[in-house]
Structures are given as structure tokens and as C-alpha cells.
Structure 1
């Protein structure tokens, strides 16, 4: 079932986010912005946490999560260990929510219209996975830009 494949991919890639956070030698660099880069790695991580907790946790897992999207991009200096803990909590939320999504539910329209038009739950979950990877790449690039180049 696709839900288990997606669950494994979300877990794998969120662990990669954690790895990126751990590779920053200077924790303050998580919040640096350079030149025309608008978002720090820390803010991208907060955004991924909010995004996945909203669209998987709240909508599919009925967690009651309340998102503050503006804060995802304005909050600064959250300690690295707190970010890592929140990413790990997000992995748990996903692992609790996705097993309950049946093949039939995958084919139904996702409960919210998030993109320009309604999509199936399956389509939207794949979109969320690619969204995660897009920002994972940005975080990796950010780390190399502002810190060590390894």
C-alpha cells in the first residue's frame, strides 16, 4: 500500500533533515541568511514541521494541531535540539496517521483544497513528499553556503 511507502519515505527524509541540522558546526548558522536567500535552515525546518503536522497530522491523523505559518518564517534562534525533537515528533505523527489511510481513502479527494484545485489524497501526499525533498535540498545547500563545505 502506498501509505506505507510514503511513511517510510517521510521518515527517511525527515531523518536526513535531522542529519543536516547536526552537520552545522555553528548552531547560530542555522538562522543565518545570506545575500538573496530569504529563509534560514531553521525556518525551513519549522516550515516542514508545520506543513506535515497540518496536512498529515491534523487532517488525516486528527491530532488537533494548530498551525501558525507566519511564525514558521519569523521565529528565530530555536535551539537545534528543540528542532530535532520537533522533527522526531513529526515522524511519530506521520507513523501514527498514515497506516489508517486505506487505498480507498487515497483515491478520495483530500479534505482541503491546498493547491489551485482539489486533488486526491494520494496525489497530495506525494506532493508533500516532494515538498519535503525540495526544502531538504535547500537546507543542504544553505549549510554548505553559510558554514563548512563538506
Structure 2
């Protein structure tokens, strides 16, 4: 399970970087419409914050302090900066997962999620799904609004 989890997080974070890299226009990263209210830049910041908080802080024991509102309020951060932030969170996630003992996967995650107590294994699967879902949204956003 641990090896597969690391491989899947690596793949999905690399997909995130690839999607952001493929934007032709810095402006397009931050574009919204009536039908697409979340831009790629904010979704990217949201994923970076989510991974830093739920994996870096609570699995890897980093001192990250999440500022979730800023993930959606920040605008016009350069693509190069987003790519650096993605590379940094990838290192944190992979290091955290690599150093996490596999036998702890069945133990309870250290904080509740939406009022539920989940296992580490369940939480990591949930976070992977969340990552992949938003990367798909970014792909959609890029293909429709990057012109």
C-alpha cells in the first residue's frame, strides 16, 4: 500500500505541475467565468495548502500553518512561482509518506475530518482523490479558458 500510495501521489502532483506548465497565458491561470468560478491558480494554491496541511503537517510533522482563505483570495501569482510551490509540496509529501511507517496506516488519523475519525489509510486515499479531482478541473479550465 505504501509504495503504491507514494507512486500515485508522485503521478498526480506531476500531473498538477504539467497542467500549470501547459498554460500559454499567465492571465488565463486566473480567469473565471459564470460557469467556471474557480480558476486554475486558486485550485493549484488550494491543493498545495491541502497537501501541506493534511500530509506535511499531520503525517510528516512539519510546522506548516494553513491559511485556507488565502488559497482562494490570492491572485496573479506567476506561473513560475506556482511551479516552485508544487515542487516544494511534492518533496514534502513524498518525504512524509516515505518516512511514515506502513503499520501506522491502519491507525487513526490525528485529526477529525468533517466530524469523522478516519484511519491514516482512508485519509490518504481521500486526499489522493481530492488531488486528482482538482487536477481534472484544472485540465478542463486550461482547455476551455487558456486562449
* TM-score, with structure 1 as normaliser: 0.94
- Offset of residue 36 of structure 1: 2.5
The equivalent residue for 2:84 is: 85
**Alignment size in residue pairs:** 147
**Aligned equivalents of 2:50, 2:106: Cα separation in 1:** 21
Spell out structure 1 runs of 4+ moving beyond 6 A. Answer: none
Q: How far, CA to CA, are the matches of 1:65 and 1:3 in structure 2?
A: 23
Question: What RMSD over aligned residues (CA atoms) do the two structures have, in Å?
Answer: 1.1
Are 2:43 and 2:138, in contact at CA under 8 Å, matched by a contact in 1?
yes
Secondary structure of 2:108's partner? Answer: coil
* 2:111 equivalent in structure 1: 112
Counterparts of residues 26-45 of structure 1 (less than 5 Å)? 26-45=25-44
Offset at 1:120?
0.5
Q: After TM superposition, give the deviation of residue 86 of structure 1 in Å.
A: 0.4
Counterpart secondary structure, 1:60: coil
Correspondence for 1:143: 142
User: Tell me, which stretches of 5 or more residues in structure 2 are unaligned?
Assistant: none
Q: Which residue of 2 aligns with 1:5?
A: 4
Please state how far the C-alpha of 1:147 moved relative to its aligned partner.
1.8
Tell me the distance in 2 between the aligned counterparts of 1:11 and 1:103: 17
Using the size of structure 2 for normalisation, the TM-score is 0.96
In structure 2, C-alpha distance between the alignment counterparts of 1:121 and 1:54, rounded to whole Å = 14
